[in-house]
Amino acid sequence: MTTPIAAPPAPPSGALPTIDRASARAFAEEFITPVADVYDRAGAVPEEIQERIGERGLWAPFLPTRHGGRDLDMVTLGAVHEEMGRACSSVRSLLTVHTMLAWALMRWGSAEQIERWAPDVATGRVRGAFCLSEPGAGSDAAGIGTNVRPHKGGWLLNGRKKWITGGSRADLYLVFARNESSIVALLVPRTAPGVGVTPIDDMLGTRASLIAEIDFTDVELGPDALLGPSSFASGMVLSGTLDLGRYSVACGSVGIIQACLEACAHYTTHRTVGGSRLRDLALIRAKLSDMVTDVRAARLLCERAGELKDAEDPATLMATWVAKYFASTAAARHSSEAVQVHGANGMSTDYPVARLYRDAKVMEIIEGSNEIQRITIADEAFREVAQ
Amino acid sequence: MSVTTENPAVPAVPPTEIADRIHGFVRARFPQVEIAPNQDIFAMGFINSLFAMELVMFIEKTFGRSVPNDELRIDNFRTVEAMAGLVGRLRLAVSDS
């Protein structure tokens, strides 16, 4: 079942292209979907498509127009990321981490930092990556070993980050490091002396998302590298940035379910078994009905989280946890069923469901593992009902 | 960000209601305990980065003032009274500018 979406009208000559669900789908269908499996096998989203994303204004369209963005609302941003996730989770992952850096810059940056970075971040001339995970610390942010200390009026950064999406291509890293007892955020240009980038290949999923390990060895930074407050409030930079990343991953997971649904509807319509179409079997219909139900539910949860973000309502934080947990677990479940529906074909590179299956697993781990999410959601439940 | 900005779309909250609004938000988040306006909520062990972010978002949305980085100090958020004081200063900062 393909969600009917009207093709967008061509923009007037010289006008900026419209950014909405329909235009994002049209872009993805033309440039990404047909080659997503090629990216997956090659292990990289090519530079050419990243530049096209920039031409369409999709890197950070939520930034204000005065800084080169399009003032796009969060609900529409979610729809764009869903459509990218429907086409290729590696592309969506690159958008996610760039979005996280762009949002953190706009939310926490000084006027000088915003003036310096925002215009190029908005267009994608400068690509961002989010550096939190380390060889020994993933969801456990308190376990961060990368450290930063005052040095010559600025900062000295040392440590190693791992599993950094977009890391092998990014120009600017949003790095979280320990400064005494708090975790602070830093903007670190890739060109800073002491920054080393080692690509990580052959991941299970989102194989084309340019994942890398980033080493920081005696990296000297100016005082303007610090993003946002230090001390007790510095954790808010991480919380807020992860919230937006989680929102993007949730929306991308909806896209995965939608892609599974469409692949299964097409396959079971054309595949026959015992003289009947596969789609006529009750057990197959049950799988598709569950996909339809869950993709709609997950989309509504994402839209609600986006509405709360647009309203700047603090309830968006928990709404996003719930949306990401629901959408990612549903994506993992339905992508597994999609492979099952396709049989041996589903395990081959002839059909997209094997890629969807591998990518969906990643969604249950990134931006806070689902185990961490369940703990947080349960805490909320006890707060709501405690007497 | 060293200055606060005002969201003119947010209706002004009477000064006498500022502390009550903040108190109501904090109590709603932790309904299992009584929290006095002068009680240190950090000392009660409830604060994590998620709640801190919620607090800042609540203050900015309810009172229509952004909280600049240099006001994000722990002492400004220890108690309901301290947060009400912060909101008062942010209002003055906008009216003076």
Active site residues of A: 367
**Domain total for chain A?**
3
**Beta carbons of A386 and B55 less than 8 Å apart:** no
Is A104 part of any domain? Answer: yes
- Do residues A95 and A248 touch, judged by C-beta distance below 8 A? yes
Quickly count: other Cβ atoms within 10 Å of residue B34's Cβ. Answer: 8
Residues A227 and A366 in one domain: no
Give Cα separations from A343 to A48, A172, A273, A348 (angstroms): 34, 43, 12, 9
Kindly give, in sequence order, each residue whose CB lies less than 8 Å from that of residue B29, ignoring residues fewer than 6 positions away: A383, B46, B51, B54
Residues A321 and A363 in one domain: yes
Residues A92 and A143 in one domain: no
Chain B partners within 8 Å of A110 (Cβ): 1-2, 69
Confidence of residue B1 (pLDDT cuts 50, 70, 90): very low
- Taking CA atoms, what residue in A is nearest to B58? A314
**Nearest-by-Cβ selection for A312 from B55, B57, B73:** B57
ipTM for the whole predicted complex goes beyond 0.95: no
pLDDT in tens, A108-138: 999 999 999 999 999 999 999 999 999 998 8
Residues A164 and A271 in one domain: no
Q: Among all chains, which residue has been given the structure tokens 């949305």? A: B61
Interface-testing mutation among A232, A242, A307, A383, with chain B (most B C-beta atoms within 10 A): A232
Residue A145 tokens, joined: 């070993």
Q: How near does any CA of chain B get to the CA of A114, in Å?
A: 10
Q: How near does any CA of chain A get to the CA of B56, in Å?
A: 8
pLDDT at residue A2 in the model:
47
> Read out DSSP for A43-68?
TS--HHHHHHHHHTT-SSTTS-GGGT
Residue A233 has pLDDT above 80, yes or no: no
Question: The dihedral of CA A197, A201, A205, A207: what is its sign?
Answer: positive
Please tell me which residue, A237 or A339, carries the higher pLDDT value: A339
Residues A107 and A161 in one domain: no
Residues A242 and A317 in one domain: yes
What's the whole-number mean pLDDT along residues A330-351? Answer: 97
Domain that holds residue A198: 129-231
Interface-testing mutation among A244, A383, A385, A387, with chain B (most B C-beta atoms within 10 A): A383
Residue B15 tokens, joined: 């000064």
Q: Among all chains, which residue has been given the structure tokens 């989102």? A: A206
pLDDT in tens, A3-56: 556 555 555 556 778 999 999 999 999 999 999 999 999 999 999 999 999 999
Residue B8 has pLDDT above 80, yes or no: no
CATH of the domain at A165: 2.40.110.10
The 8-class DSSP code of residue B6 comes to B
Q: Are strands A212-221 and A154-164 parallel, antiparallel or unpaired?
A: antiparallel
Q: Is B16 exposed, middle or buried (0-12, 13-18, 19+ CB in 10 A)?
A: exposed
Chain A partners within 8 Å of B35 (Cβ): none
pLDDT at residue B3 in the model:
62
- Do residues A28 and A98 touch, judged by C-beta distance below 8 A? no
Residues A245 and A364 in one domain: yes
Choose the final residue of a domain: A231, A254, A276.
A231
Is A304 part of any domain? Answer: yes
Q: Mean pLDDT over all residues of chain A?
A: 94
Kindly give, in sequence order, each residue whose CB lies less than 8 Å from that of residue A371, ignoring residues fewer than 6 positions away: A139
CATH of the domain at A262: 1.20.140.10
Domains defined for chain B, CATH in brackets: 15-96 (1.10.1200.10)
Q: How near does any CA of chain B get to the CA of A374, in Å?
A: 15
CA separation for the pair A332, A295 (Å, rounded): 12
